[in-house]
Structure 1
């Protein structure tokens, strides 16, 4: 198959500012999250501190999961599963983010320099797009969106359960409860701001006037979609912070401050 060469840019049109700063910061941020989440996913420890369960490990589907009374601990996998239970669930939110339109732009530019930035000379001589393996897998984004919805629902359930004390009595709120509320709000905002969500809701309608409810929803999602990049980063940071907070409490670094 013949692939066209990259478009050439005349020298007088090339950027002379510090264009490399944005992709470098993006790459550093994504790399930091990759290193942290990989460590936590394989650590298989300190992911539950009643009533909090790390969003990296929820729902916990392995027989080896830490005891979670009245929590999302579904032992669907028997004792034969010897790896961290986080590896059973992280594939779904990870796949959703990897195939996300914004994250594609971020890591294409940050790691592959394809393209490095607007009005910058191309380091690659050919362009194949997302037509070959593995990038053709980016077309699964809509299906990962469907998988991300129940995961967000389960994390919402975890947030509700966080309003209990260590004895599972309702009517209590700790610092972890507030962190979980912020995290799930950002996760839902990021999930619903997805381009696939916007298209599913109203992208194929011929006459908005005949579908007023879907049109209203499409408008709401469209406003979220305009902030998709901001929500992508905010939710990425919040889910890491929520996991890190559970890790600190579970490892005994400090006790969860309770407000009532």
Structure 2
């Protein structure tokens, strides 16, 4: 039975409630789904990154974003930027980009909320107590590195350019289902990257007079509209990345044939 005995409070006396939370809805479903979804994606991505095969379809120039740009000795004709790294199994083919993409996602404002709640229970939901006794915010190691998000955005922007080039290069062979999947993935990646809070601040965060900067104001308005969909785009891009990689893997492994539309 919940105790309601009065106890001193900031404004006099308040009810002493022993219940952990007064929420009666299934508040734990959202963090549980987030936990399962992110765990499944990380498991799939980790396995694929260290498979070191089935990442390129030479006939159509399909290169999975998990291996772009390909810079190890295993890359073969998929290497457009040289092969400076050896073919050691612990070295991913996309060693140049993966650390920056990981940093960009880990420090993303939405993903912080997602894994703070789902993995650290800090807090698991609104009006639910934190799972930890103390809280120091993002002022100490390792969370102080969350401030690197604004710098990770620049790297993510350049990587989106590389992904766009991969789609353009594949387009030179004609048009197939793989091309459509590559372009959908690239468009979604650009939408997610540009919807970043850091991008919105760069676009117009320091402007005092929008009327004096009409071009930047229009871009800021566009980015602001994307920003309202940042959470959805964060999840959509996880899906398009996995779909693009799986399709290219299936074609490269000869499990299926690419559906050609032109060429």
TM-score by length of structure 2 reads 0.88
Q: Give the root-mean-square deviation of aligned CA atoms.
A: 1.7
CA deviation after TM superposition for structure 1 residue 35, in Å: 0.1
TM-score by length of structure 1 reads 0.89
**Partner-residue secondary structure (3-state), 1:61:** coil
Q: Which residue number in structure 1 is paired with residue 62 of structure 2?
A: 52
Deviations 1:51-81 (A, max 9, x none): 100101111122331323xxx5212514376
Q: Which residue number in structure 2 is paired with residue 107 of structure 1?
A: 115
C-alpha separation in 2, matches of 1:202 and 1:148: 19
**Higher-RCO chain (CA-CA 8 Å, sequence separation at least 6):** 1
C-alpha separation in 1, matches of 2:85 and 2:94: 15
Question: Is the 1:183–1:238 contact (alpha carbons within 8 Å) kept by the matching residues of 2?
Answer: yes
C-alpha separation in 2, matches of 1:180 and 1:80: 26
TM alignment of 1:141-160, pairs within 5 A? 141-160=149-168
1:74 to 2:88 alignment: no
Unaligned 5+ residue runs, structure 2? 1-15
Deviations 1:138-168 (A, max 9, x none): 1100111000011100100111122243xxx
Q: Count the aligned residue pairs.
A: 243
1:62 to 2:64 alignment: no
- The 1:12/1:64 distance shift into structure 2, 3 A limit, reads closer
C-alpha separation in 2, matches of 1:251 and 1:137: 39
TM alignment of 1:1-260, pairs within 5 A? 10=17, 11=19, 14-50=22-58, 51-68=61-78, 73-79=80-86, 83-165=91-173, 172-260=174-262
User: Moved runs in structure 1, 4+ residues, more than 3 A?
Assistant: 9-13, 78-82
C-alpha separation in 1, matches of 2:241 and 2:20: 44
C-alpha separation in 1, matches of 2:63 and 2:167: 9
C-alpha separation in 2, matches of 1:190 and 1:134: 25
Question: Is the 1:48–1:66 contact (alpha carbons within 8 Å) kept by the matching residues of 2?
Answer: no
